Amino acid sequence: MNPGNGILLSVLASSLLPGLVIFAIAEHRIALRTTLNLLGAVVKLVLVGWMLWGVAHGQAYELRLALLPGLDFVLRAGPLALLFVTLSSVLWLLTTLYAIGYLEGSPHRSRFFGFFSLCVTATVGVALAGNLLTFLLFYELLTLSTYPLVVHRATEAARRAGQSYLVYTLSGGVLLLAGTVWLYSLTGTLEFRATGFVQDLDASHHGALIAIFWLLIAGVGVKAALFPLHGWLPQAMVAPAPVSALLHAVAVVKAGAFGIVRIVYEVFGVEQAADLGVTLPLAGLAAFTILYGSLRALYQDDLKRRLAFSTVSQVSYIALGVAIAGPIATIGGLVHLVHQGLMKITLFFCAGNLAETLHIHRISEMDGVGRRLPWTMGAFTLAAFGMIGLPPVAGFVSKWYLGLGAMEAGQDWVVLVLAGSSLLNAAYFLPILHRAWFRAPAGDGFAAAGGRHETGWLLLWPPVITAAMSLGAGMLAFIPFSPLEWVQFIGRREFIGYE
Amino acid sequence: MPEGVSLSALAALPWDAVLILLPLTGAVAAGLWPRSARPIGLLVSAGGIPILVGLGTAVAGTDGLHHAVGGWGAPLGIELRADALSLVFLATTALVGLGVALYADSYFEPTLARWFWPLWLFLLGALNALFLSADLFNLYVTLELMGLAAVALTALGGGRAALTGAMRYLLATLLGSLVYLLGVALLYHATGTLDFGLLGQRLEAGPASRTALGLMGAGLALKTALFPFHFWLPPAHASAPAPVSALLSALVVKASFYILVRLWLELFAPLAATAATGQVLGLLGMAAILWGSWQALRQPRVKLLVAYSTVAQIGYLFLAFPLLSAAGLPDAAAWRAVLWLVLAHALAKAAMFLAAGNLLRFGGHDRITDLDCVAQRLPLTVAAFALAGVSIAGLPPTGGFIGKWLLLEAALLQGRWDLVTVMLLGGLLAAGYVFKVVGHFFTPAATRHEAQRVPARMEWTALGLAVLALLLGLAPGILLPWFDSAVVMPMAGARQ
């Protein structure tokens, strides 16, 4: 038996089991629930750290269980999988802390944390999936386990948002299923491989392969919020802030983006994909989404909706980097998976603090809020700078590699897209910062802070930590185990062409 | 070797006869002594499982057991036959039957329970006898007995809607049996036998066998509620008491389908002339999926929605008919998938009807838009409905997903894009109607209603069945070989 079996199952179980137990915990037993939540999150983090160390030293972890004849349930912890697993696990711990503070005193917390843990399990499963079927299983599980969180507030608006969320994501799931089963009928395997597994098919199947590519991409593109499949994301903002933060800024959209990476590189193989002529249209679609999302963000007054459209735009950087099909651009795309996650979760935490502490939901209400919530708005500012791509925050590193990679691949137009998008980012973030820091509060100003802190410490520390991490990921980009170093390690280990 | 001895001793017992006689005796006893009806009913319902394990041990490794009752074999006497295909349906019946019996025990008031128990045991005996019959006439008799028991159970709730639904159901089921019987008569006239084994040797392609297939197929399609013969199902299944609805949707419609599968795999498919019939059945199946799902989506009440969902799900079962292997024989992979769906659907649909019954008991109504924060107040029921719905919609990680995947794979390998498209669309529509209800579980209703208490056991049995449907998707490899032989055995028998 492979030594990886135990640890891979434990990584899943560390959120699955607490989740299932939490469903059964009575609403008022806060201490027990919190202990379970944090225990699971910490255990997961330790296990992930262990695997990171192992993989960096050449260890491979694989778990294989027979599911159907010829098709296994496969979990495999390679460098690429661990990139996403680490991101999810670290942010899960922080978001759990945040959610405990945010939901204090609100009803149905057992249900909330139960499904929250299921979502994390599904996300980690998406990352660790070793073949397309396993990926599909966890991808759909993620859809189903996020739904109760979207409708958590139990209002009519929440119900409608949930309905629209499912219409989008389940339709995507059907396309993904169609592509997967079609591909399986052609190849007889669904195992992810560094150079893809479709190269043995002869030229007569090219038409089918192109159709399968778009089916699969449309399937994961819904979660990655690729235009025109992005409509669910702004609507899903009706969910509580921790959900928006972890799931709709990180887990769900990243599951889609991560799927694009897997499909382009490990299903089709980047060279075959380029030969089929599908990467350029994908890059074009991603570029369009980047600009479109930014433009729509400009016109939102609701803070969370503006952030949501910003997510639509930013997640497509990952797709763009992958679709340019050059090694350096791919590095840029992959590292943005982490960088965007850190920055966007900070922004959503801060938006949650504004809503929870001061009941501010709209940008037009944010005048002078920096004086009342200096730490929160400080973290927000840092993350916004990162989004715009200002050095030394992490976003700059991503954009640098994306631009460089595009030039190297001879796709100079991408640089224009990046520049245009940065301008638009500045255009929708800087006015917020200006209002917060340089305008006087309207009317009688904000109520003074109650305690020693500007808000509850559980609400304050997570955004401050993630903001610091975004800064660190940019400033210390070249130390071992930094996101960039790890992505370069992926490039050397899993994809051809990065030296 | 003592273990071998005990196993062969087990195999020697007449498990099949016990499986029929025990429920029938129980039915009589429960009818005669209403005060003991409850323990008898529960005991017999639970007893099916160990008996089935015994039968399974006896069948394993053989190509089917034959048992001539009273020593009189075919063509004169009653012959019973148990093989892997019968076991699939028997096991489905035993599992769902036990779950529903436990539920019904809390559901019915004593005045109704005294009628429910004998009728249910009678139905159980008829179902088991049907799955074990080895000739066409016995199949007819058991089909008729089952139909009568089912109609009586449908009318159990009383009230105008239930009686109208039951009456329609009675007419449909009688008409179906009659048409089936005509086909049987025609076959008897042509071949001089009704035994499956002998028919397999004597039946030849020709106008007589084609007409017989047409008649029997039409009669059974009517009883299985295949589109466009589904008209009787929604009113009957929606107006019956919840445990009865669960039995009707999960088991009773599967019984006539079982006969059709037997006829198809063993008798008619080897006659090449039946390919066109297969295509027609496939087309009707596709129409059923689309029409049933669409109607389900439009229903304002939970039970009607679930009933129309049954119309749609029955459609999937007919998608294997048009799929033929290269040799022109039934596609074993497709049939394996369909049998899988029979089990998965039975578990999930029973769970959904039981959950719907809980909602009805709780709020006094099952109007979807008036559901009032039930996610908070009946969490187990809601979990049961949602889990079962996920399986019905064919989403992972459930039994429904595995069945759909296997069927999709079989259809794709034959390039049947029409079937693939309809299956995918049907899954999407199913997710649509399931989550239409689930969405309203969370929100409060415009007007508050007085809520009734729902016994814990009614919640747990619904959830238990839904969890079984879920477990079916987690380790399908354990059961799949059994489903393989369920298809291969009858086909191999047919070729001999």
CA distance B392 to chain A (A): 14
The answer to whether A177 faces chain B, any CB pair under 8 Å, is yes
Res A23: pLDDT: 87
User: Residue B291 pLDDT > 90, yes or no?
Assistant: yes
Q: How many other C-beta atoms can be found within 10 angstroms of the C-beta atom of residue A200?
A: 10
Last residue of a domain, one of B268, B301, B323: B268
B436 contact residues in A (CB cutoff 8 A): 163
CA distance A339 to chain B (A): 31
For A39, the token pair is 């225990």
Contact call for A184 and B436, based on CB within 8 A? no
Q: How many other C-beta atoms can be found within 10 angstroms of the C-beta atom of residue B5?
A: 9
Res B275: pLDDT: 77
Contacts (Cβ under 8 Å, ≥6 apart) of B241? B107, B108, B112, B153, B156, B157, B357
User: Residue B192 pLDDT > 60, yes or no?
Assistant: yes
A151: nearest CB among B402, B408, B442:
B442
pLDDT for B339-353, tens place per residue?
999 999 999 999 999
Q: How far apart are the first and last CA of chain B?
A: 34
Q: What number of C-beta contacts closer than 8 Å exist between A and B?
A: 80
The answer to whether A443 faces chain B, any CB pair under 8 Å, is no
Q: Is residue B280 part of a domain?
A: no
Report the alpha-carbon distance of residue B390 to residue A137 in Å, rounded.
13
Q: Tell which residue, B256, B248, B225, has the closest CA to residue B139.
A: B256
CA–CA distance from B247 to each of B119, B240, B254, B346 (Å)? 12, 10, 10, 9
Report the alpha-carbon distance of residue A377 to residue B154 in Å, rounded.
65
Judge whether B121 and B29 are in contact, CB under 8 Å: no
Report the alpha-carbon distance of residue A199 to residue B418 in Å, rounded.
28
Q: Is residue B473 part of a domain?
A: yes
B120's torsion region: left (phi>0), alpha (psi -120 to 50) or beta?
alpha
A174 contact residues in B (CB cutoff 8 A): 424, 427-428
Q: Tell which residue, B235, B218, B91, B94, has the closest CA to residue B154.
A: B235
B396: nearest CB among A140, A159, A182:
A140
Residue A411: band (very low, low, confident or very high) from pLDDT cuts 50, 70, 90: confident
Residue B1: band (very low, low, confident or very high) from pLDDT cuts 50, 70, 90: very low
Res B72: pLDDT: 63
Angle between helices B37-59 and B110-132 (to 10 degrees): 20
pTM: 0.92
Contact call for B435 and A174, based on CB within 8 A? no
Judge whether A68 and A20 are in contact, CB under 8 Å: no
For B145, the token pair is 């007995």
For A96, the token pair is 């759990």
Contacts (Cβ under 8 Å, ≥6 apart) of A390? A396
B407 contact residues in A (CB cutoff 8 A): none
Judge whether B384 and B422 are in contact, CB under 8 Å: no
Judge whether B343 and B476 are in contact, CB under 8 Å: no
User: Residue A472 pLDDT > 70, yes or no?
Assistant: yes
- What does DSSP say about strands A61-68 and B79-82: parallel, antiparallel, or unpaired? unpaired
Q: Tell me which H or E stretch contains B265.
A: none
- Is the domain of B76 the same as that of B169? yes
Coil, helix or strand for A268? Answer: helix
CA–CA distance from B207 to each of B198, B250, B273 (Å)? 19, 35, 10
Question: Mean per-residue pLDDT for A368-388?
Answer: 88
The residue of chain A with its CA nearest to that of B410 is A185
Q: Tell which residue, B222, B136, B133, has the closest CA to residue B186.
A: B136
Cα–chain-centroid distance for residue A286?
16
CA distance B442 to chain A (A): 5
- Is the domain of B225 the same as that of B301? no
Res B467: pLDDT: 95
B408: nearest CB among A151, A158, A181:
A181
Q: Is residue B142 part of a domain?
A: yes
Question: Mean per-residue pLDDT for B292-313?
Answer: 94
For B314, the token pair is 């029955």
Question: Mean per-residue pLDDT for A216-236?
Answer: 89
Residue B2: band (very low, low, confident or very high) from pLDDT cuts 50, 70, 90: very low
pLDDT for B213-244, tens place per residue?
889 999 999 999 998 988 888 988 888 899 99
pLDDT for B365-417, tens place per residue?
888 888 888 888 899 999 999 999 999 999 988 999 999 999 999 999 888 99
Report the alpha-carbon distance of residue B119 to residue B252 in Å, rounded.
13
User: Residue A135 pLDDT > 90, yes or no?
Assistant: yes
Q: How far apart are the first and last CA of chain A?
A: 34
The answer to whether B445 faces chain A, any CB pair under 8 Å, is no
Report the alpha-carbon distance of residue B250 to residue B254 in Å, rounded.
7
Q: Supply the mean pLDDT for chain A.
A: 87
Q: Is residue B274 part of a domain?
A: no
- Is the domain of B379 the same as that of B352? yes
pLDDT for B146-181, tens place per residue?
999 999 999 988 888 888 989 999 999 999 999 999
Q: What are phi and psi of A202, to 5 degrees?
A: -80, 175
Res B398: pLDDT: 92
User: Residue B124 pLDDT > 80, yes or no?
Assistant: yes
Contact call for A163 and B439, based on CB within 8 A? yes
- Is the domain of B231 the same as that of B318? no
CA–CA distance from A76 to each of A10, A191, B475 (Å)? 13, 11, 19
Cα–chain-centroid distance for residue A238?
18
B337 contact residues in A (CB cutoff 8 A): none
Report the alpha-carbon distance of residue A296 to residue A309 in Å, rounded.
6
Contact call for A154 and B373, based on CB within 8 A? yes
- Is the domain of B217 the same as that of B294? no
Q: Is residue B278 part of a domain?
A: no
Task: Quote the number of domains for chain B.
Answer: 2
Coil, helix or strand for A71? Answer: strand
The answer to whether B479 faces chain A, any CB pair under 8 Å, is no
Q: Supply the mean pLDDT for chain B.
A: 88
Q: What are phi and psi of B67, to 5 degrees?
A: -145, 115
Res B325: pLDDT: 78
Last residue of a domain, one of B236, B268, B300: B268
Q: What are phi and psi of A197, to 5 degrees?
A: -130, 20
Q: Is residue B253 part of a domain?
A: yes
- Is the domain of B222 the same as that of B338? no
Res B70: pLDDT: 64
The residue of chain A with its CA nearest to that of B424 is A174
Residue B3: band (very low, low, confident or very high) from pLDDT cuts 50, 70, 90: very low
Q: Tell me which H or E stretch contains B261.
A: helix B253-262
- Please state which of the ranges B30-39, B183-192, B482-491 shows the lowest mean pLDDT: B482-491
Report the alpha-carbon distance of residue B318 to residue B322 in Å, rounded.
8
CA–CA distance from A2 to each of A59, A75, A280, B18, B287 (Å)? 11, 12, 40, 48, 49
Would you list the DSSP string of A416-469?
HHHHHHHHHHHHHHHHHHHHHHHSPPSTT-PPPPSSSSSS-HHHHHHHHHHHHH
Coil, helix or strand for A201? Answer: coil
Q: Is residue B374 part of a domain?
A: yes
Res A396: pLDDT: 87
Q: How many percent of chain B have pLDDT more than 90?
A: 54
Determine the residue among A22, A118, A174 to mutate to test chain B binding: the one whose Cβ has the most chain B Cβ atoms within 10 Å: A174
Q: Tokens 């843990």 appear where?
A: A117
- Is the domain of B374 the same as that of B420? yes
On the CB side of A330, how many CA atoms lie within 13 Å of its CA?
27
Residue A448: band (very low, low, confident or very high) from pLDDT cuts 50, 70, 90: low
pLDDT for A101-131, tens place per residue?
888 878 888 888 899 899 999 999 999 999 9
Contact call for B442 and A178, based on CB within 8 A? no
Contact call for B409 and A184, based on CB within 8 A? yes
Report the alpha-carbon distance of residue B157 to residue B108 in Å, rounded.
10
Sign for the CA dihedral angle at B117, B122, B125, B131 comes to negative
- Is the domain of B251 the same as that of B310? no
Residue B494: band (very low, low, confident or very high) from pLDDT cuts 50, 70, 90: low
Q: Tell which residue, B62, B97, B110, B106, has the closest CA to residue B82.
A: B62
- Is the domain of B405 the same as that of B439? yes
Report the alpha-carbon distance of residue B476 to residue B297 in Å, rounded.
30
CA–CA distance from B232 to each of A83, A113, A252, B174, B253 (Å)? 56, 45, 44, 12, 12
Question: Mean per-residue pLDDT for A491-497?
Answer: 67
Res A495: pLDDT: 64
Contact call for B477 and A159, based on CB within 8 A? no
- Is the domain of B316 the same as that of B412? yes
Question: B321-342 burial string, b = 16+ CB within 10 Å, else e?
Answer: bbbbeeeeebbbbbbbbbbbbb
Q: Tell me which H or E stretch contains A61.
A: strand A61-68
Q: Tell me which H or E stretch contains A72.
A: strand A71-77
The answer to whether B397 faces chain A, any CB pair under 8 Å, is yes
CA–CA distance from A457 to each of A270, A452, B154, B283 (Å)? 46, 9, 61, 63
Judge whether A395 and A266 are in contact, CB under 8 Å: no
Angle between helices B417-442 and B302-317 (to 10 degrees): 160
For B94, the token pair is 């035993």
pLDDT for A263-301, tens place per residue?
998 899 888 888 888 989 999 999 999 999 999 999 988
User: Residue A328 pLDDT > 70, yes or no?
Assistant: yes
One-letter amino acid identity for B25? T
pLDDT for A44-71, tens place per residue?
999 999 998 888 888 888 888 888 888 8
**By residue range, what is the domain housing residue B40?**
1-268
- Is the domain of B404 the same as that of B339? yes
CA–CA distance from B241 to each of B161, B224, B284, B361 (Å)? 11, 20, 29, 11
- Is the domain of B264 the same as that of B332? no
The answer to whether A185 faces chain B, any CB pair under 8 Å, is yes
